[in-house]
Structure 1
Amino acid sequence: MGIILKNRLKELRARDGVNQTQMAKLAGVSRQTISLIERGEYTPSVLIALKISQVFQEPLENVFSIVEVEE
């Protein structure tokens, strides 16, 4: 068993009408970083994850969740 970090970034951006470039600026990261996080190809640091959850005004666990997967 392994774990992966799932996120609702794309869904929450759509809800708030924020594009990747705007989200990146609000979170203090690059647009590429936002894209990689959304695709599950990059695990953000705790600091970045907290910044992102603050942008959406959501608790961290409403934006990111850990899921167990079979390997």
Structure 2
Amino acid sequence: MLLHDAVREGCLDLVSALLNQGVGVNIQDNDGDTALHFANLNNNVEIQALLQAAEPNGNMNNVNMENLYGPGMGR
């Protein structure tokens, strides 16, 4: 998942380009994590802001039942 990889690597320009091309911000990996889960875990404020602007579904849980703003998810 290119968006997830770009977020994990902290590639702000690539994240921005992918979002501008319409890549889905709510796509989950096999563990149920979205790109915003990774941005929050890495405390990457700039990428968090980009992803928030794309209006993610804040109620999406990963396999640990953590939503985007739950324990360990920053906010």
Alignment TM-score, normalising by the size of structure 1: 0.29
More helix by share: 1
Q: Which structure has the greater CA radius of gyration?
A: 1
Larger relative contact order (CA 8 Å, sep ≥ 6) = 1
Alignment TM-score, normalising by the size of structure 2: 0.28
More strand by share: 1
